[in-house]
Amino acid sequence: MNAASQTPVAQTDMVAAVRWAYRLVLGRDPENDKVIANWASLRDPQAVLRHLARSGEAAEVAATNRPLLGSWPDRPLEAEAVRAAGLLLHGVLPPEEEVEATLVLCSTGAALREAFLESPAYVAVRDGREMPAPVVAEPLPRPPSGEAEVMLDGRPLRIRGQEEDAYWRALRHGVVESSVTSLLRVTRAHLAGGGQGAVLMDVGANIGLASLAMAQAAPGHAVLLAVEPNAVNAEHLRHNLAANGLPRARVEEMAVGARDGVAEFMADARNSATGHLLGGEGAAAGAGRSVLRVPVQRLDRLLADHGCERLDVLKVDVEGGEDAVLAGAGDLLARYRTLVHIEFNLWTIMAMAGANPRRVLENWAAAFPHIVAFGDDGNPAPLKDAELLMWFLYVTTTKRGGMGDIVLCHDLGWLKRWK
């Protein structure tokens, strides 16, 4: 028994830990209240996790990928679930700022389960290795306010952000979105040999982690162009690129769209990752939110203004405006055979862009020779026909919190180099 499990766990927290242990490991609720009470009486959440993680049922669930049972996978995630996950993995309740950051990144029970099963602490328990010791005494020293060390593919990066920003707080606690890791691996596979002379573009760059991932995957690149319309984000973006060895990276403080002009942009200081262009109806500012007037430029013109005659990798994450970004590229992406790493977010496509996600997906598939999604194991899988396209839409809707990364490309040679 470790030091954390010697500390008594409140009965209500223990009951929640048992219930969520079954959901997170076995994909279902416990059989009845008596089962919950029996496990809760141990007052040792990590003992519950050890038993379930190494059970035959857990192995069967992992091998068969059977459907999750109950309504909890699709319900909005609550703080109780995040606290329960922390108890199971580390034996102590997580700090409230960590709970808040996790709620931002995992919107549903299914999303929390995916992150839980991929965590190093769970893998150690499942494989019978010693569980990582929790921090229960002196807290680890924190970096200076507004700056933190973030590990990206084994490399430490110093990243600056706003303290009130939930996205930044998640990074500060070591939570790097899977899309950033995916982007790094895709870029590395596509640009074999370090991407000598490559041109990289990050549309919706935020404070720069995705830009740094692209540059890390292609150290021989010639141009890195990061585009971000939020002035506060753009300031941190410039700093973070320069502070991590990219002083010549180019930052454009604007949005990218289907046509040149000026548009209204909703910025939310509470979560910088949710900033988006507004439609013609506009929107009212509120707590933490402000409406900015920002320049908008077509992608093909922006690239020409920078004197670039190639574009090797384009990353797009603009909260529903992805289709407009592609429309503003003209024939450039086909001409340069650009690989596009793009977010597919059901909510932002419908709520921000007012579009049908199925039509968006079909349009992307029609515009590129190949469309590639990522399976439950994180590996790329081409969506070769309409049936697989609808499968991706179904899985994204029902099991992945409405979000998924997609690669649009002109050949599949990079799949052979994926690792």
In a domain? residue 133: no
SS3 181: helix
Residue 419 CB neighbour total at 10 angstroms: 7
Structural Rg of the chain based on CA atoms:
22
Question: Does one domain contain both 251 and 339?
Answer: yes
In a domain? residue 165: no
Structure-token pair, residue 18: 């048992």
In a domain? residue 350: yes
| Sole residue written with tokens 């439609």 | 279
Q: Are 2 and 46 in contact (CB under 8 A)?
A: yes
Question: Does one domain contain both 263 and 343?
Answer: yes
- For the chain, the domain total comes to 2
Q: Are 163 and 146 in contact (CB under 8 A)?
A: yes
Residue 74: give the domain boundaries. 4-126
Dihedral class, residue 43 (left if φ above 0, else alpha if ψ from -120 to 50, else beta) = left
Residue 40 half-sphere exposure toward CB, CA atoms < 13 A: 19
CA–CA distance, 178 with 405 (Å, rounded to integer): 9
| Sole residue written with tokens 């010791």 | 133
Which has the closest alpha carbon to 323: 388, 275, 277?
277
Per-residue pLDDT of the chain (419 residues; tens, 9 = 90+): 333 434 567 888 899 999 999 999 999 999 888 888 888 887 889 888 988 888 888 888 888 777 888 889 888 989 999 999 999 988 888 888 788 878 887 888 988 998 888 887 888 888 877 544 443 333 434 444 578 889 999 999 999 998 888 888 888 888 888 899 999 999 999 998 899 999 999 999 999 999 999 999 999 999 999 999 998 899 999 999 999 999 889 999 999 999 999 888 888 878 888 888 887 444 444 555 788 889 999 999 999 999 999 999 999 999 989 999 999 999 999 999 999 999 999 989 998 888 999 999 999 999 999 999 998 888 999 999 999 999 999 999 888 888 899 999 999 999 999 98
Structure-token pair, residue 229: 């319309």
Residue finishing a domain among 111, 126, 141: 126
The CATH number of residue 275's host domain is: 3.40.50.150
Question: Does one domain contain both 302 and 379?
Answer: yes
- Residue 115: burial class (beta carbons within 10 Å; 0-12, 13-18, 19+): middle
In a domain? residue 134: no
In a domain? residue 282: yes
In a domain? residue 362: yes
Residue finishing a domain among 97, 126, 155: 126
